[in-house]
Amino acid sequence: MTQPNEQILVIVPAYNEAAVIRKTVRGLLDAGYPVVVVDDCSTDGTAEKISDLNLFYIRHAINLGQGAALMTGMAFARRRDMDYVVHFDADGQHQVEDIPGLLAPLLEGVADITLGSRFLRRESRRLVPPLRRVLLKIAVLINGLFANMWLTDAHNGLRALNHRALEKIQLRENGMAHATEILSEIRQKKLRYREVPMKARYTEYSRSKGQSALDSLSILTDLIIRKIFL
């Protein structure tokens, strides 16, 4: 557990997060993690908010979606030969304090990838709004059916990958369906995984930016169509 934080790259995909990006990124930098912000063609001045900070900044020329932004961040990490990467949401839902717990199984060598879960601890489970809880449980079921991975949480953007997982995982879903695709990848590439308890902080902002019930329908459509055609 003596891995210096410099070998852990935190990937923060961001699309129009000017209001919160600075606070999120500052928290990570203060903890000593190198950060790469993948700006998915924001138009609200997200870039200016962080231009003075010591971090890596990559910008997509057009808006591609969160899955594509994560994949770009991972491609960047591969080029720099990072040992570990963390997926971290820009909207302030994720806590820096959860990262060490997420990395622990990787550093101990018992997992290649860890996935944050809001449902492993009673107190973090209670933080999830009731409607969201129901939606997430449906998503858990869908992930189980599509990827044959039965977890306690779904669409939780907090993850950590070791070098092996970083090299193997290929995301082709540009949109939100990547959360299910990652699970399929874990299964197909035979990566060892663990779920790790985390706390998601729901704020007025994160709830307005987060995915609506309607979005989950479009994710499902994506999954079904691709399942049929590919």
Partner 1 sequence: MKPFQFILVPVILFLLVLFFRRLRHQPVMRILVMVVLVAGLVFSVFPDSTTLIANVLGIGRGTDLVMYLGMLGLFSVSGLLYLRILKLERMITEIVRQKALEE
Q: What is the contact surface with partner 1 in residues (CB under 8 A)?
A: 38, 58-62, 64, 68, 71-72, 75-76, 79, 172, 174, 225, 229-230
CB nearer to partner 1: give 78 or 207.
Answer: 78
69, 173 Cβ separation under 8 angstroms: no
CB nearer to partner 1: give 68 or 85.
Answer: 68
198, 95 Cβ separation under 8 angstroms: yes
Q: Count Cβ atoms within 10 A of the Cβ of residue 51 and give its class: 0-12 exposed, 13-18 middle, 19 or more buried.
A: exposed
We find the least distance from the C-beta atom of residue 59 to partner 1, in angstroms, to be 6
We find the least distance from the C-beta atom of residue 62 to partner 1, in angstroms, to be 6
Decide: helix, strand or coil at residue 207. Answer: helix
CB nearer to partner 1: give 71 or 165.
Answer: 71
27, 94 Cβ separation under 8 angstroms: no
Angle (CA) 18-19-20 rounded to 5° is 95
We find the least distance from the C-beta atom of residue 80 to partner 1, in angstroms, to be 11
CB nearer to partner 1: give 71 or 182.
Answer: 71
We find the least distance from the C-beta atom of residue 60 to partner 1, in angstroms, to be 5
